[in-house]
């Protein structure tokens, strides 16, 4: 029996006259990697922002583990178990990897309004940071300032920041952005290893990555889901080919991988 | 034929840390060249030096036969070198038309300079969005606008840094087709990208950079025939 | 243990020996002045300490929190006027007047912050300025606050067994009070709260995305900052035995910002160094020329050009220059 972790019910968000999300209904099953694909401007980023709580929808509902979270602010959703990564690396470049991750651990363990305990004494933050660093392969650079890391490693930390929140649902916004083929492969292995403990929603343009990682794919066009299904179905769906993949689809990108 | 752009034994870096240890690159008029390599190997650094954002420590950069290393960025751009930067960087609060017309110039002195109409013909999507502000465009439209903006300066050499990053397959395809058309019309192009098959189709000349050095240069046939090069320098 | 580099989370915090040295120097200062027969400089010392507290309070909001408030004179003023109004009603006990001043200023900061913190950047600067102007016009237009003349203090606040009227005793009272406030500031800066505040300054979007209530964090910091500025205002009223609306002018807010930037925004000692430098230079230059404003301005300009991140950043910058050969990571995407 499948268990629905996240459900959107006729979610709508308008900017001026334009409906960026248009009565969008989506179901995400526990433990799956659910890819969200669609042409540029189809509303993937807007949808993700509404799931994360950064944007308020105009109408419709978002249910997480059966609970209505439509009105919850971002930090409450994180506490409820939803974390996200960003397409454009959004870290603390002047801080070390350890400090970056410790901030996420601190948010989770609470007491951020505790103005009297001196942090240097608190090893629980350190332990949490080290644990996540090991998970995303950054143990060797814990005390390196993030700005000095290569792009690929910053992308690993981008994922790590979300993981350090210990989410049950992870929203991944183009985790491969700007990576070279080797880095992309390493990232792919990291994401696959998250399953099935975590449910992931993955926005990604690289079809090779999507077809390799995703259990199910939803295709978003003009703010609506036009198709949902496993890779084989989506790959051959004529509507999807017309709107997104193009006439000679993945053959071209596969030759390079 | 004399080279449009030639970079010889270029070395540079950030602060005290050296990033390039000898890059050579030559582009003839009308040629499309590709710069390939893993992340962190020096592709973007080479572009920074080319555009005067980093001083060349040693070596030289010649454009149209003149030394340009040491010149300020705006002078280099005025000579007819146009960049489509990574991340697009269009003006979010200008309309599409304003983004384009603000850059109108005829830097290569062609008899048929680019006009708004010709850009619209090249990217029909931009015509439909002419009055929209930059930030209202989708990622793909922004990318087209960034290319259109660079073309409006009528450059001798068009430089694209990861221009297809974050684009959907269909739009990516369209952009490559535009580049092929531009090249066929005689536009010289330098492109950094990760889609090798498209580069093999569009570019005539390929240079691999590894750890700050140019390590291999050749044409598409030679590159197609040597998959071991892809493996060694790109990891694919 | 591996070498951990200095980052904005740790760079500004003082070591214990520095703190002890600073306390000893400040404790000996009035004795030295007295011995040298320069008693006048004792009350200058009190003024420096009080403004150091005001600047450090602003530093909590501006330096640590990235909230550029051009309205901190309002909190200074609320603190000062609270003491003066209480004194008018015969309440002179420091044990009552000072806490009331702090709470009044904190409440003002909470209310102003609750509105202002919904804006960003230049709007935040302007809205804090506007609120401070409201307080200024309130003070000059209400007769019970003394209008343009302000309110004189019949006597300094009273503490049983201490005669605060004497400059030397008052200096030590100020040193003790400001010292306590600095201990509080240190605990704040070094705590989880302080880290979160600095991190919000560095990347607000990420902080929200990892689960921090960003607005509430900022509001708490802004309120604490206002309360501490109110304490400085209360001490200032005592030093000057009275308050005038001048305390509430936007010049005063501007001077506090200058002190913070001069000393080093986000550095623990930034407010102290900035206030000391500013007031001492002002004192010395105005002794020699009536155009002291011009020379002070030029001198400040020079200091800011030489140390864009404030005097306190110089040590770190020198250290970085010396360290540079050791750590030079090769990377492509430098800023």
User: A255, B196: Cβ pair inside 8 Å?
Assistant: yes
Residue A86, domain member (yes or no) = no
| Predicted pLDDT at C230 | 98
Question: Which CATH number do you get for residue A178?
Answer: 3.40.50.300
Mean pLDDT, range C113-119, rounded to an integer: 96
Residues of chain C with C-beta less than 8 angstroms from the C-beta of B40? 331-333
Q: Is the CB of residue B73 less than 8 Å away from at least one CB of chain C?
A: no
What spatial distance separates the first Cα and last Cα of chain A, rounded to whole Å? 36
Mean pLDDT of B35-45: 91
**CA dist B103 → A170, B79, B186 (Å):** 42, 14, 21
Domain that holds residue A24: 1-81+167-257
User: Of A129, A144, A166, which residue constitutes the final position of a domain?
Assistant: A166
Q: Which residues of A touch C199 (CB under 8 A)?
A: 92, 95, 103
Model ipTM value:
0.89
Look at C324 and B16 and tell me if their CB atoms are within 8 Å.
yes
Indicate if the pLDDT at residue A79 is higher than 60.
yes
Among the partner-chain residues C328, C332, C333, the one whose CB lies closest to the CB of B16 is C328
What's the pLDDT at A252? 40
Q: Mean pLDDT of all residues in chain A?
A: 89
- Same structural domain, A76 and A52: yes
**Same domain, yes or no: A25 and A109:** no
Q: Are A64 and A169 in contact (CB under 8 A)?
A: yes
Nearest chain B alpha carbon to C332? B40
C333 or A197: which leads in pLDDT? A197
Find chain A residues with C-beta within 8 A of B39's C-beta. 150-152, 178-180, 183
Highest mean pLDDT among C17-21, C80-84, C279-283: C80-84
Residue A219 pLDDT > 90? yes
CA dihedral sign of residues A139, A140, A146, A152:
negative
Q: How far apart are CA B232 and CA C221, in angstroms?
A: 54
Residue A118 is predicted with a pLDDT of 62
Are residues A106 and A70 part of one domain?
no
Q: Which of A38, A176, A180 to mutate: most B Cβ within 10 Å? A: A180
List, as one string, the DSSP characters of A113-170: T--SSBGGG-HHHHHHHHHHHHHTT-GGGTTSBGGGS-HHHHHHHHHHHHHTT--SEE
The pTM score is 0.87
**Domain boundaries in chain C?**
44-249
- Using the Cβ of B186 and the Cβ atoms of chain C, whether some distance falls under 8 Å is answered with no
d(CA C140, CA B161): 61
- Whether the pLDDT of residue A66 is over 90: the answer is yes
pLDDT (average), residues A207-216 = 91
Asked, for residue B42, whether it belongs to a domain, the answer is yes
Q: For A229-253, what is the mean pLDDT? A: 75
- Does residue B13 lie in a domain region? yes
Report residue B236's pLDDT band, with 50, 70 and 90 as the boundaries: confident
Percent of chain A with pLDDT strictly greater than 90 = 65
Together in a domain, A184 and A66: yes
pLDDT, residue C2, reads 47
Residue A1 lies in a domain: yes
User: B91-116 pLDDT, tens per residue?
Assistant: 999 999 999 999 999 998 888 899 99
Query: For residues B79 and B156, is the Cβ–Cβ distance under 8 A?
Result: yes
Q: Which pLDDT value is given to residue A117?
A: 63
pLDDT at position A253: 39
Tell me, yes or no, if B138 comes closer than 8 A to chain A by beta carbon.
Answer: yes
pLDDT category at A119 given cuts 50, 70, 90 is low
Indicate whether A100 and A149 sit together in one domain. yes
Condensed to tens digits (0 to 9), the pLDDT of residues A28-58 reads: 999 999 999 988 888 898 999 999 999 999 9
CATH number assigned to the domain comprising residue B47: 3.40.50.300
pLDDT tens, residue by residue, C32-45: 999 998 888 999 99
Containing structural domain, residue B58: 1-70+195-236
Question: Is the peptide bond preceding residue B83 cis, with omega within 30 degrees of 0?
Answer: no
Count structural domains, chain A.
2
Look at A74 and C208 and tell me if their CB atoms are within 8 Å. yes
Whether A187 maps to a domain, the answer reads yes
Say if CB C274 and CB C262 are below 8 A apart. yes
Contacts across the A-C interface (CB distance below 8 Å): 120
Report helix, strand or coil for A202.
strand
Is there a domain that residue B24 lies in?
A: yes
Secondary structure in 3-state letters for chain B: CCCCEEEEEEEEEECCEEEEEEEEEEECCCCEEEEECCCCCCHHHHHHHHCCCCCCCEEEEEECCEECCCCCHHHHHHCCEEEECCCCCCCCCCEHHHHHHCCCCCCCCCCCCCCHHHHHHHCHHHHHCCCCEHHHCCHHHHHHHHHHHHHCCCCCEEEEECCCCCCCHHHHHHHHHHHHHHHHCCCEEEEECCCHHHHHHHCCEEEEEECCEEEEEEEHHHHHCCHHHHHHHHCC
Q: Which chain B residues touch C333 with a CB distance below 8 Å?
A: 40, 44
Taking the C-alpha atoms of residue C88 and residue A55, their distance in angstroms, rounded to an integer, is 52
- In a domain, residue A122? The reply is yes
List, for residues B153-195, the tens digit of each pLDDT value: 999 999 999 998 888 888 899 999 999 999 999 999 999 998 8
pLDDT tens for C296-314 read 889 888 888 888 888 888 8
Q: Does a structural domain hold residue B134? A: no
Please state, rounded to an integer, the average pLDDT across all residues of chain C.
Answer: 90
pLDDT reported for residue C13: 83
Q: Say how many domains are in chain B.
A: 1
- Min Cα–Cα distance to chain B from A247, Å: 9
| Residue in the block written with tokens 């008052």 | C170
Model confidence pLDDT, tens digit, residues A168-201: 999 999 999 888 888 899 999 999 999 889 999 9
């Amino acid at each position: 029996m499948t268990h629905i972790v996240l459900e959107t019910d006729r979610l709508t968000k308008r900017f001026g006259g334009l409906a960026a999300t248009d009565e969008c209904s989506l179901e995400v099953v526990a433990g799956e990697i659910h890819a969200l694909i669609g042409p540029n401007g189809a509303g993937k980023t807007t949808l993700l922002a509404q799931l994360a709580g950064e944007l308020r929808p105009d109408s419709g509902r978002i249910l997480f583990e059966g609970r209505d979270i439509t009105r919850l602010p971002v930090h409450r959703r994180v506490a409820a178990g939803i974390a996200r990564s960003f397409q454009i690396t959004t870290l603390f470049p002047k801080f070390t990897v350890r400090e970056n991750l410790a901030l996420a651990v601190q948010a989770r363990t609470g007491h951020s309004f505790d103005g009297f305990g001196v942090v240097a004494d608190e090893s629980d933050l350190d332990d949490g940071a080290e644990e996540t660093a090991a998970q995303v392969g950054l143990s060797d650079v814990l005390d390196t300032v993030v700005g000095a890391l290569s792009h690929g490693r910053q992308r690993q930390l981008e994922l790590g920041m979300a993981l350090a929140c210990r989410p049950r649902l992870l929203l991944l916004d183009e985790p491969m952005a700007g990576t070279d083929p080797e880095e992309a492969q390493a990232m792919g292995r990291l994401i696959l290893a998250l399953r099935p403990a975590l449910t992931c929603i993955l926005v990604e343009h690289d079809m090779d990555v999507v077809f390799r990682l995703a259990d199910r794919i939803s295709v978003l066009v003009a703010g609506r889901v036009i198709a949902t299904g496993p890779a084989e179905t989506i790959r051959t769906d004529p509507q999807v080919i017309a709107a997104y993949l193009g006439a000679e689809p993945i053959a071209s990108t596969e030759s390079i991988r | 034929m004399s080279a449009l752009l030639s970079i010889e034994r270029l070395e540079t870096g950030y602060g005290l840390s050296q990033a390039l240890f000898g890059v050579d690159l030559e582009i003839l008029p009308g040629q499309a060249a590709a710069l390939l390599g893993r992340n962190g190997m020096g592709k973007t650094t080479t572009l920074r030096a080319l555009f005067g954002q980093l001083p060349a420590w040693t070596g030289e950069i010649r454009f149209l036969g003149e030394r340009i290393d040491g010149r300020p960025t705006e002078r280099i751009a005025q000579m007819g070198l146009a960049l489509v930067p990574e991340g697009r960087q269009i003006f979010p609060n200008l309309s599409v038309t304003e983004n384009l017309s603000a850059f109108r110039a005829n830097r290569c002195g062609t008899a048929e300079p680019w006009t708004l109409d010709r850009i619209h013909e090249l990217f029909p999507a931009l015509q439909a969005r002419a009055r929209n502000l930059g930030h209202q465009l989708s990622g793909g439209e922004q990318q087209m606008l960034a290319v259109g903006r660079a073309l409006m300066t009528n450059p001798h050499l068009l430089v694209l840094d990861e221009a297809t990053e974050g684009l959907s397959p269909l739009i990516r395809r369209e952009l490559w087709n535009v580049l092929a058309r531009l090249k066929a019309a005689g536009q010289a192009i330098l492109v950094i990208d990760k889609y090798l098959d498209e580069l093999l189709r569009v570019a005539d000349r390929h240079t691999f950079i590894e750890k700050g050095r140019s390590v291999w240069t050749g044409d598409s046939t030679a590159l197609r025939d040597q998959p071991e090069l892809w493996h060694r320098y790109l990891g694919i | 243990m591996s070498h951990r580099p200095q980052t904005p989370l740790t760079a500004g915090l003082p070591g214990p020996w520095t703190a002890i040295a600073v306390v000893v120097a400040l404790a000996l200062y009035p004795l030295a002045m007295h011995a040298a027969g320069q008693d006048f400089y004792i009350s200058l010392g009190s003024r420096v300490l009080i403004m150091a507290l005001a600047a450090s309070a602003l530093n909590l909001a501006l330096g640590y929190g990235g909230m550029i408030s051009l309205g901190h004179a309002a909190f200074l003023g609320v603190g000062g006027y609270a003491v003066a109004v209480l004194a008018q009603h015969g309440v002179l006990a420091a044990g009552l007047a000072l806490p009331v001043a702090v709470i009044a200023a904190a409440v003002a900061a909470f209310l102003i912050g609750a509105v202002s913190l919904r804006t960003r950047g230049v709007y935040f600067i302007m809205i804090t300025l506007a609120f401070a102007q409201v307080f200024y016009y309130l003070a000059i237009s209400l007769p019970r606050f003394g209008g343009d003349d302000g309110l004189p203090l019949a006597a300094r606040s009273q503490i049983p067994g201490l005669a605060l009227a004497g400059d030397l005793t008052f200096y030590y009272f100020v040193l003790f009070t400001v010292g306590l406030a600095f201990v509080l500031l240190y605990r704040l800066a070094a705590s989880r709260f302080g880290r979160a505040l600095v991190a919000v300054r560095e990347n607000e979007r990420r902080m929200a995305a990892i689960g921090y209530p960003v607005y509430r964090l900022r509001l708490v910091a802004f309120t604490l900052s206002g309360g501490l500025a109110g304490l400085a205002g209360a001490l200032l009223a005592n030093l000057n035995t009275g308050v005038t609306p001048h305390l509430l002018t936007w010049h005063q807010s501007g001077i506090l910002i200058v002190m913070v930037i001069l000393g080093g925004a986000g550095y623990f000692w930034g407010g102290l160094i900035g206030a000391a430098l500013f007031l001492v230079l002002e004192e010395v230059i105005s002794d020699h020329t009536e155009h002291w404003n011009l020379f002070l301005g030029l001198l400040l300009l020079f200091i800011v050009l030489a140390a864009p991140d404030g005097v306190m950043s110089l040590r770190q910058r020198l250290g970085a220059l010396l360290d540079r050969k050791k750590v030079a990571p090769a990377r492509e995407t430098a800023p």
